Amino acid sequence: MGTATLANQRHIPREDYQTKPWKNGKGTTHDILILPEGGDHASFDVRLALSPIVEKGVFSSYEGADRVITLVEGAGLDLQFGASKEHLAPLQSLYFDTGLAPIGTPLSGPVRVINVMARRGVWNIATCSVASSAQLKCKAADMVFIYCIGQGCLITVDGTQTQVAQSNSVLLSDATNIAINGEGLFLFAHLKPHA
């Protein structure tokens, strides 16, 4: 994907996100990163994506994967799961089985969401939320994904600092102490390997 790798920090600039059609063909998504390398929408252990939702439609189904969806731009998003409905307010996250394929309805115009997906039995999404600062204690096998919503953020990994620009992403691994401070807000997801 043309990303730069610096030790345990993988920087992914906005221009390196890969625009692809949704699995169901009803829209497009911007894949930030798919693991393992060479994986695709049918064969991933971890998938990170920025997706615009411009009209009502059914989400793509990915059997055997968990998803956390976070509304990072727009007024709101309703998700219909059969007889039940969930409302996603701005900057709110929702965890669900992505095999359920809800119907999504953006409110008051198009929205954008960040999707964090993990293959069940391979990775667990321990935490996914929006903040202006965060302190994380990790094990070496963990991964932390960060997407800058605001003007940028400063990431300190085991004493080494890195600045990340707005709309760019970082994947951290083999790190034990992580501090994130944003010029505004950022999304972070802490993923742990399945025990």
Sequential pLDDT tens for the chain (195 residues): 334 333 578 999 999 999 998 877 778 899 999 999 888 888 999 999 999 999 999 998 999 999 999 999 999 999 999 999 999 999 999 999 999 989 999 999 999 999 999 999 999 999 999 999 999 999 989 999 999 999 999 999 988 898 999 999 999 998 889 999 999 999 999 999 997
Percent of the chain that is helix, strand, coil (3-state, to 5): 5, 65, 35
Same fold, 4-119 and 123-193: yes
- Residue listed under structure tokens 């953020």: 153
Q: How far apart are CA 70 and CA 123, in angstroms?
A: 19
Listed by start position, the domains of the chain span 4-119, 123-193
pLDDT in tens, 100-142: 989 999 999 999 999 999 999 999 999 999 999 999 999 989 9
Has this prediction a pTM greater than 0.75? yes
Q: Give the sign of the dihedral formed by CA 158, CA 46, CA 188, CA 72.
A: positive
The matching CATH number, chosen from 3.10.580.10, 1.10.8.60, 2.60.120.10, 1.10.1740.110, for 4-119 is: 2.60.120.10
> Could you say which of 2.60.120.10, 1.10.357.10, 3.30.1050.10, 3.40.50.1980 is the CATH number of the domain covering 123-193?
2.60.120.10
Q: Which residues contact 126 (CB under 8 A, 6 or more apart)?
A: 190, 191, 192
